[in-house]
Amino acid sequence: TTYAITDVKTGAWRQVNSGIGCAAHRSIVETQSGTIFLSEDAGVCMTDGSNVYKIGENVDPLIRQAAENYSTALANACGTYRGDSYYLSIPTAAATNDLTLEYHLPTKSWWIHTFASNQFALLDPNTTPKLYMTHATDNKVLRALVPDVYADEDVAYASYWQGPFWPFGQPHINKRLTQIRMDGAGVWLLYLATTFEGSYELIDGID
């Protein structure tokens, strides 16, 4: 069950939702859009204090995998809010957190990261917030999501995207293309298929 505290001095509360509760207390994070948390049955949810909304349908398979295989370890899932994104580390292939899911609130899109944490902390010693995390399996603290660094724990990672250039949430539409636009940083390898069932061919490397 989800409750809202109405008086912090007395602990008075009111019920928000009787069917959705929280599976991991460290997943509860306040954002400018509402409070986000992980539910074992409903996945990632957001509440505005009056209602509870599911926002994690796109990552439900990963949440279900964690809930079915590592239900006890799911209580150790942890989250944080940085910039415009909510980050959630969960256990998917082992009994410890091994994957981090990112929910970008402005675009309502989900992204997957290969690093994982057992606890996040935002430190702001010089008015510039920096995100730190405890390593999920080793006894060490790391800085996460360092600007202009394209590696997880000093290991370079590969990213890919398939589909046409359309805003997030729009359907894929087949049409004739005269140009391709890419925005980003790093080293890009462009593969292009000129027919629907054709193989992808390397066009060129782009810096």
Q: What's the mean pLDDT in 113-139? A: 85
**Least confident span in 45-49, 50-54, 151-155, 183-187:** 183-187
pLDDT band at 128 (very low <50, low <70, confident <90, very high): confident
pLDDT surpasses 70 at 177: no
* pLDDT for 204: 67
Q: What percent of the chain has pLDDT over 90?
A: 28
* pLDDT for 174: 57
CA–CA separation, 197 vs 181, rounded Å? 22
- Which residues 6+ apart lie within 8 Å of 155 measured at CB? none
What is the pLDDT of the chain when averaged over all its residues? 82
CA–CA separation, 22 vs 152, rounded Å? 29
pLDDT band at 3 (very low <50, low <70, confident <90, very high): confident
Q: What's the mean pLDDT in 172-180? A: 61
DSSP state of 74: G
Q: What's the mean pLDDT in 145-160? A: 73
What are residue 174's DSSP bridge partners? Answer: none
Q: What's the mean pLDDT in 106-119? A: 88
Under 8 Å between Cβ of 16 and 6: no
If one counts every other C-beta atom within 10 angstroms of the C-beta of residue 90, the result is 28
pLDDT surpasses 80 at 179: no
